[in-house]
Amino acid sequence: MEEKIARMKELVTILNQAARVYYQGQDEIMSNYEYDKLYDELTELERDTGITMSASPTQNVGYETISELPKEAHIAPMLSLDKTKEVEELSAWIGEREGLLSYKLDGLSVILTYESGVLVKALTRGNGEIGEVITNNAKTFVNIPGRIRFEGSLVIRGEALIRYSDFEWLNGQTAEIQEKYKNPRNLCSGSVRQLNNEITARRRVHFYVYNVVQTDRPESFDKKEKELNWLSSLGFDVVPFKKVTRETLAGAVEDFSRETAESDLPSDGLVLTFDDVAYSAGLGRTAKFPRDSIAFKWQDELADTTLREIEWSASRTGLINPVAIFDPVELEGTTVSRASVHNVSILRELKLGIGDTISVYKANMIIPQIYENKTEKNNCAIPEKCPVCGGGTALVQENGSVVLTCPNPDCYAKKIKNFSHFVSRDAMNIDGLSEATLEKFVNLNLLHDVTDLYRLSEHRDELIGLEGFGEKSYENLMNAIETSKKVPLANVLYSLGIKGIGLSTARLIVREYPWRLTDFQDLTAEQLVAVDGIGQVLADSFVDFFAREKNREMVRELSGFLDIQYPERRDPDEEPLAGKTFVITGSLTQFANRNECKAKIEEQGGKVAGSVSSRTDYLVNNNIASASSKNKKAKELGIPIITEEQLLQMLSL
């Protein structure tokens, strides 16, 4: 008994940690297959012992979020579903009644509220009782109507997701997405909960409706199928479903299984619900699950194979990731021969060795993964040279994992990253230069350093001849490059990619030293440390950058191309926010985004910090009554909480 209880405690800790990072949109620490296996083990132990730990995931619906988005209670609990992996259990569950079988979509549950035909509120599921308010973000979803042909009140629940095709396209455009988000579900969670809905809009989030939560529609539906068809008639995309009976259920599951391999919608199983609305309503719920629906999780198909090689793939951010190459095997109807191992920590945990017998599967029937290593030869060497540039590699601790990196600043992979940073919105803001396009230009030897961007017009014929890059694309790019030449000094300084120097830090420096760009090579660490907000580490990084002749030459060339806008040196007495530190939280309505608000404060001599402390002078939050951690901290410390309107008055705007 003691051993079983100890194992239960261990499983509760492991599963809660896995669920926490999953619901917060971070990198998953285990696959769905592994999670379900451990969850089932815990359930069996609880049944055997009659003991359930208070923190057990079998008893808790979800986790509190860590986002700064406003929070609000749901009108009814948003419960998770009981689950099975056996078709026979589904058949027994449906009995003699009719049901609807649909995809269990793998995204983020969202609840939408429409009043008088207009979308007025969107909440995430959150912990099931309280969700995050994401109304502005939801309005950017690709396929939801902003207005519907229904003048009453309507609350619906559905799934926000990013389709596989969009995920692959976004991965090709942005290195940050490629490195941080390993699958569409993670990217969707991070996108839906952004504080800046402009980012959400770029991520192409879709929404599929599951059901009506509440409505004042005078005519009620007797069948769930009619309810979904009505929602479809209002312009919503509903989750793909099939009407089933006990006799047709197994065939429908097989149909969905085949279709999933070709579907563009991420899913991790199916959901079976009763079609009879009145019957469903009368079933009620348990503490955690509704009784009118059950989830069916895919049985992942496993195959044993032999590991032949570990291929080390260098990314654009300097990470060098291991990829397992193994004898081809058939999985879910396709042949696979490679799977990402993600990082050195996972490589070591699996104790991989050439010739090992490994068990592989497709996560969600799509992404090849290693499930276990059955022989554990543990003989895979970590490369000492970068596969791209041949320079020495380094092992680095990053977010709790060991990763392999290439420290060479001139490595091709890092060169792409530097170009991408230079052309980004907060730097030189050159539209039309995705990382894929930059790669093409680098491969054609058109770009060696950032100043070559301003000489691209010399290669007009070569550019127009590129596949997918014609006369119009060339003209648009030339116009964007020309527009970028007129740029504030702080943005140029930030664009240089000096380690640790963000846009806010660059603004602090240029406000104190509004020098010509080439004169910054004479700025000393002592002068920089004298600037409020600049520490020794940042000062040394800045000085080290300008100490390199290669960088100084690049800055001299760059200055010749640009029309740099220099800030006026102000008397501190003329800066109304001089010496004041602000923290910004919650949604903004008067500014386009948080960065714009931050820039205005800094222009008037103020500083913006990320967290509330005794050194904070004001917390900016339109929701003064919010129970957020920042509001609580500000009240504890006696720090004034002001709205945007009050901030604008202080800014005299």
Single-letter amino acid, residue 288: K
163 SS3 class: coil
What residue has token string 């500014």?
A: 591
How far is residue 437's CA from residue 251's CA, in Å, rounded to a whole number?
46
Closest by CA to 578, choosing from 513, 508, 499, is 508
What residues pair up with 305 in beta bridges, in sequence order? 358
Task: Provide the token pair at 601.
Answer: 């404060």
**Angle ∠(151,152,154) on CA atoms, nearest 5:** 115
**Closest listed residue to residue 90, CA positions, set 249, 267, 247:** 249
Which is catalytic among the residues 71, 104, 607, 630?
Answer: 104
Closest to 237 in 3D by CA, of 273, 261, 209, 260: 209
Residues 261-291, buried b or exposed e (16+ Cβ, 10 A)?
eebebbbbbbbbbbbbbeebeeeeeeebbbe
Cα separation, 282 vs 284, whole angstroms: 6
Tokens of 300: 């992942």
Residue 430 in tokens: 């050159």
* CA atoms of 553 and 555, how far apart (whole Å): 5
Does 242 participate in catalysis according to the annotation?
A: no
CA torsion sign for 469, 470, 474, 475 is: negative
DSSP-based helix, strand, coil % in the chain, nearest 5 = 40, 25, 40
Q: Map 391-432 to HEC letters.
A: CECEEEEECCEEEEECCCCCCHHHHHHHHHHHHCCCCCCCCC
Tell me which residue has tokens 């009050």.
646
- Kindly calculate the radius of gyration of the chain based on its CA atoms and give it in whole angstroms: 28
Write the CA distances from 504 to 490, 520, 549, 597, integer angstroms.
8, 17, 26, 12
- Which residue's entry shows tokens 């312009």? 235
Distance CA 37, CA 56 (A): 15
Six token digits for residue 50 = 């009659």
Strands (E), 448-556: 486-488
Q: Which two tokens stand for residue 49?
A: 């012992």
Residues 303 and 331: beta-carbon distance below 8 Å: yes
| Ramachandran region, residue 652 (left: φ > 0; alpha: ψ -120 to 50; beta: rest) | left
Looking at the annotation, which residues are catalytic? 104
